[in-house]
Structure formats: structure tokens, C-alpha cells
Amino acid sequence: MRRNDAFNPLEGGDRISVGPDQARRQCHLTNRWRAGRFALRPAILFGLAALACLSPTARLQANLIPIGTQGFVDLGTTASDTGNILTATAFSISNWISVGSQSGIFVGMPIEFLGPQTFDVNVPSTISFHDPVFGAFSATSLFNVTPGPNSIVYSYNGDWLPGAQGGLTGGPFPAALNLAFLQIGGPSTAISTSGTVTVSVEETVIAEPSSFFLSLTGVAAGIVLYLRRRWRDLQAGPAVTV
């Protein structure tokens, strides 16, 4: 067989003479190589999808860990727009003060006078109060209302910015407020108001490294088995002739 008689696209440049059997074998190998290359695609895509599911950001979970509670009361008498705590929506607190009912970062905080407050219980943005020592609480959403015979409790999610108490900086931190109104004598009698702020921090939970290793091992084994089966099918398949 002389060179320069026929062009060989696999080697380039020179031409060779090939017989019919050699041409069929070359075509068969070329088609087998192409089929094998395309067979890799689903395996690669499967691996990438699995790795995306196993990425650390997909395994992050945030849990709220309480770090302190602080109680408040109205030192005077609370007024309402209807005189009945079960139907009222607007409340005017005469003197909102902190009390000794406290835990965590608020232990040891002295009595603080936050002054008059006006709350619309159905509008969370109006539920806010602040003090240089306590910090600042702002409600963001109302998530529960618990009425009783002569009482009603509103529960809010919100944010808290640190004051001088507790030694914390930064924020805002997740917080919650239970705001309770008590009217022992029924409608048109005196209203007592109290509240408890709970401050929390977010704890991030990440899956253990061993879990990632086992998951990746399973993905790798699946890819290997898939490729072996595909290669075996290609080897056993009929030759493609032209």
C-alpha cells in the first residue's frame, strides 16, 4: 500500500489506499467513538446535578436560639379606642417600663422608663419602642392572637438592635414580642398591659462531612456502573457499515 493514494482524515495530510474491509472497520470505530462520547453526556449531567444537591448551601439550616428575655409593664393605666380589650385595636400606654422579669443577656438590666407608647395591634409597624440601655425592638409581623375571658395576647415577630445591656453589637437580631392586655372587670374597666421580648440568634446547621463523603461515593459508583454498561453495549453492538 502506497501513501498519497487516498486522503486519511484521521491522520491528516497524506493519502492512503484502503480496502473495503478496512473502510468498514474505520467507519465502525468512528461511530463507536461518537456513540461513546454522547453516552458520557447523561452521566456527566447526572453527576453535576448530584453535586449541586450536595453543595453546602443546600444543606444549611437556620435554627433560632434564644439568648435573653426582658419583661415590660405599663406603670399606669392603658387606654383603648373601644374600652374593651377584645374589640379594641388602638391602645395608649401611659408609661412603658422594664421590670426584673429577665433572663440571659438582660439579667442585671436596671429599670428603664421608655415613656408613653401608642400601639395599633393590627399594624405591626406601630409596635416599636427603644431605650439606650435596652436597645430597640420593632415588630415586623403578627403571627398569633390568643383571646381569653378578660385578656388577650398578641404575638409578633420582629427585630432587636442592641443597646448598652448585654455587650452585643451589630444586628438586628431576630426577636419576638408577646403583648398582653388584661381587663379583670370586663369592658370599660381598667386595662393592665405587659409584654415580654425574646431575643434570639441564628444557629447555622451544616450536614456532617461523612454524609457528603457517602453521598459522593454513591454518585461516583453510579457513574462508573453506567459507563461500564454503556461500553459493554457498544462493544456488543453490530458494526455500522457504509
Same domain? 94 vs 145: yes
Determine the pLDDT at residue 53. 47
Same domain? 137 vs 212: no
Task: Report the SS3 class of residue 232.
Answer: helix
Higher pLDDT: 232 or 160? It is: 160
Lowest mean pLDDT, pick from 12-21, 64-73, 115-124, 174-183: 12-21
Residue 241 lies inside a defined structural domain of this protein: no
Higher pLDDT: 36 or 94? It is: 94
Residue 231 lies inside a defined structural domain of this protein: yes
Joined together, the cell numbers standing for residue 61 give 439550616
Which of 99, 75, 79 is CA-nearest to residue 188? 79
Same domain? 184 vs 96: yes
pLDDT at 56 over 60: no
Q: 19: domain range? A: 3-58+206-236
Which of 18, 188, 228 is CA-nearest to residue 87? 188
pLDDT at 100 over 90: yes
- How confident is the model over 66-84, as pLDDT tens digits? 999 999 999 999 999 999 9
Mean pLDDT for 188-205 is 92
Same domain? 178 vs 224: no
Say what the pTM is: 0.62
Determine the pLDDT at residue 166. 87
Same domain? 117 vs 199: yes
Mean pLDDT for 223-235 is 63
Determine the pLDDT at residue 203. 81
Same domain? 19 vs 112: no
